[in-house]
Amino acid sequence: MNNFEYQNPTKILFGKDQIENISKEIPNKAKVLLLYGGGSIKKNGIYEQVTKALKGFEVVEFGGIPANPEYAVLMDALKIIKEQKITFLLAVGGGSVIDGTKFLSSAALYKGDTPWDILTENIRTTSGMPFGTVLTLPATGSEMNSGAVITREETKEKLAMGGPGLFPQFSVLDPTVIQSIPKRQLANGITDAFTHVLEQYMTYPINALLQDRISESILQTLIEVAPKVMKDPKDYKAAADFMWSCTMALNGLIQKGVPTDWAVHAIGHELTALYGIDHARTLAVIAPSHYRYNFEAKKEKLAQYAERVWNITEGSVDEKAKQAIVRTEMFFNGLGIDTKLSDYTRDYMGTAQEISRRFTVRGWNTLGEHKNLSPSDVEKIVTMAY
């Protein structure tokens, strides 16, 4: 096991009717900016619950944060924060709204001229404007971590930011929100959380026995609840297990003391930037090819995953490892998620070269847990995913 530091101060309020408790978590006399996305919260009753809970606070609203939170939109929100002297941010939404709010938390206290520098210059945020979240779509884990990914349409960029100042003060996880989520987004959420675990697990053995088993626990739980959640989003028991699994998949715990990969995300982000493919679906496209291309480096963990998660106990390490990749594709397919780029766009020729070119320009020569994947490797992985 590698040395590690771990601290996660976010307070989780989990369960039915927890939204009404947010008033106890927001400082008295706070001036709150309520941030949300396309407005689905006004149809499913969450907006009503939140505004009721915020009674007594001075509240300003900012809706319209798009999926893949857009820098230009967020800059409009930042203007409101400054003009209205906002002191607390409340994100009500999925990963995009929460990530956008994290950017605003950082940008609100940023001393430099251009907040975009936070992303391009990798400035870690040690102190941001305090914020809480009400999660409406389990998937990204952003509700209990300190990272965010922001998109800039103008330059077709999608970049990450983070820092210890960007943990939410609190996050409400009410599994009943799942009832009104479209199936397509539920499938995305399951796929996203599943791949988050894989990025922190599918590397090489390092004798972190407990971290491995907890990762496998999350994968097993997602596999067990996925059909139930897809069949009946009103199944509260399944929704609760699904929601908590998504949070645990990316709250930092399972990555401590172990090597992590994240190449699937790095490549997947480009597919979203280029073609607007849903984030989770880009992961399902890239992961199988990535594991096949890096088979020798990953086969021991792939075989362990085959045995413990998929109960594949027959065959050699190589055979089990190969079967595990197939089972992973089948799992995604079973959710209605396609796993080839050509399923999403006819215009895929040249994509591998373009992504490789972008990585070269950025100097990204060290992807993967061994930090040995070059842009030319990335080109081959993407080609395998056509």
Q: Binding of its own copies at residue 360 (CB under 8 A)?
A: no
Which residue in 203, 257, 194 sits closest to 222, CA to CA?
194
Which of 14, 110, 275, 295: binder of its own copies (CB under 8 A)? Answer: 14
Piece of the chain touching its own copies by CB under 8 A; list 1-9, 153-161, 336-344, 354-362: 1-9
Count of residues that interact with its own copies, criterion CB under 8 A: 40
309-to-156, 194, 223, 243, 334 alpha-carbon distances in Å: 37, 12, 9, 19, 17
Centre a 10 Å sphere on the Cβ of residue 75 and count the other Cβ atoms it contains. Answer: 15
Which of 22, 26, 208, 373: binder of its own copies (CB under 8 A)? Answer: 208
Which residue in 278, 286, 232, 236 sits closest to 261, CA to CA?
286
Q: Binding of its own copies at residue 39 (CB under 8 A)?
A: no
> How many whole angstroms separate alpha carbon 255 and alpha carbon 250?
8
Centre a 10 Å sphere on the Cβ of residue 296 and count the other Cβ atoms it contains. Answer: 9
Residue type, 248: M
Name the residue with tokens 């009721």: 52
Q: Binding of its own copies at residue 143 (CB under 8 A)?
A: no
206-to-3, 23, 300 alpha-carbon distances in Å: 12, 44, 11
Which of 107, 218, 226, 355: binder of its own copies (CB under 8 A)? Answer: 218
Q: Binding of its own copies at residue 19 (CB under 8 A)?
A: no
Q: Binding of its own copies at residue 27 (CB under 8 A)?
A: no
Which of 10, 191, 304, 339: binder of its own copies (CB under 8 A)? Answer: 10
> How many whole angstroms separate alpha carbon 385 and alpha carbon 277?
14
Element (H, E) at 162: strand 157-162
The least distance separating its own copies from the CB of residue 233, rounded to whole angstroms, comes to 16
- Residue among 68 and 191 whose Cβ is closer to its own copies: 191
343-to-17, 189, 248, 340, 356 alpha-carbon distances in Å: 40, 19, 31, 5, 21
> How many whole angstroms separate alpha carbon 45 and alpha carbon 12?
21
Could you tell me the two tokens for 16? 């039915």
Which of 87, 179, 180, 221: binder of its own copies (CB under 8 A)? Answer: 221
- Residue among 3 and 371 whose Cβ is closer to its own copies: 3
Which of 72, 109, 210, 326: binder of its own copies (CB under 8 A)? Answer: 210
Residues 244-263 that bind its own copies (CB under 8 A): 244-245, 248, 256-257
> How many whole angstroms separate alpha carbon 46 and alpha carbon 19?
9
Whole-angstrom Cα Rg for the chain: 20
The least distance separating its own copies from the CB of residue 258, rounded to whole angstroms, comes to 11
- Residue among 116 and 131 whose Cβ is closer to its own copies: 131
Q: Binding of its own copies at residue 203 (CB under 8 A)?
A: no
The least distance separating its own copies from the CB of residue 11, rounded to whole angstroms, comes to 4
Could you tell me the two tokens for 133? 């979240």
> How many whole angstroms separate alpha carbon 256 and alpha carbon 43?
39
Which of 8, 84, 127, 155: binder of its own copies (CB under 8 A)? Answer: 8
Q: Binding of its own copies at residue 193 (CB under 8 A)?
A: no
The least distance separating its own copies from the CB of residue 138, rounded to whole angstroms, comes to 12
Which of 18, 188, 339, 356: binder of its own copies (CB under 8 A)? Answer: 18
The least distance separating its own copies from the CB of residue 228, rounded to whole angstroms, comes to 10
CA angle 299, 301, 306 (to 5 degrees): 90
Q: Binding of its own copies at residue 11 (CB under 8 A)?
A: yes
Q: Which residues bind its own copies (CB under 8 A)?
A: 1-18, 207-211, 213-214, 216-218, 220-221, 224-225, 237, 240-241, 244-245, 248, 256-257
